[in-house]
Amino acid sequence: MLLTETAPPPGAQRLAGLRATARAARRRTFVALSAAIALLTTAQLLADRAQTKEQTLPLAVLSLAIFMTALPVLVATQYVWGAHARLVRRSELELYAVAPSERARPLSRLAVACGWAVTLLLGWTEPHFFREAALHAFADSLRWAAEALAVVSIAAGVLFVIWWARDAVGMLARAARSGGSPGDPWDPGHGARPREGAALWTGAAVAVAALVGARAHLWEPGTAVIYALLTAALVCGVVTGE
């Protein structure tokens, strides 16, 4: 009889469900992060190319609205992901009596931190667009808010680097002592990496990187190309999250 045909040990089915929920929360986090960067970058690119202040104003408002909406959404999705991940770690420790290896955790956390850095950098440029729209008083108020946000963000970034380095060193030390939890044959999604999903994530990452490069004036794509890149980023992200 094959191992997968035997009855699962107590707790294995619950753990498989927890792992699936954590994977779904992780997908939602990266989808929200990539969508926020793609939408914010596109709005700012269009605002930067506007010919008059009347054309710039609605795009500046749209860009600010996207940024203000993205911040709580990113916080919420990452909090949910972290809560589910901690629950999975506790359950694996109870079931297998060893801590999970989670070798990809430092990389995923670093990727999220880089996404946050790009999002905040884009947000710090918001006052420029309102100044171009001739709303100087509002632009000055936004500038003060952006400077305060920059100070908080830099402090949070320093704390993150210290915490991330400490956590990564701890994981390496634990991995040297133990191989982590064993594979779970009753969890069909554990360790599975469908090629289609990897290709879609790659497509979304390339599209977002191209938009960020255009916002940084590393290249000058046409408006139609910008819309095509935005569509590719959103479609790849949404399909990946299904």
Query: Whose CA is closest to 3, among 180, 183, 186?
Result: 186
Quote the pLDDT of residue 58: 94
- Rounded distance between C-alpha atoms, residue 38 and residue 179, angstroms: 38
Flag residues of the chain having pLDDT under 70: 1-10, 97-103, 173-196, 240-242
Number of neighbouring beta carbons within 10 Å of residue 95: 17
pLDDT tens-place string over residues 146-169: 889 889 888 988 988 888 888 777
Cβ partners under 8 Å of residue 198, min gap 6: none
CA angle, residues 176, 177, 182, in degrees to nearest 5: 95
Model confidence, pTM: 0.87
pLDDT digits (tens, 9 = 90+) for 83-119: 998 898 888 877 776 666 566 778 888 889 999 999 9
Angle 131-149-204 from CA coordinates, rounded to 5°: 85
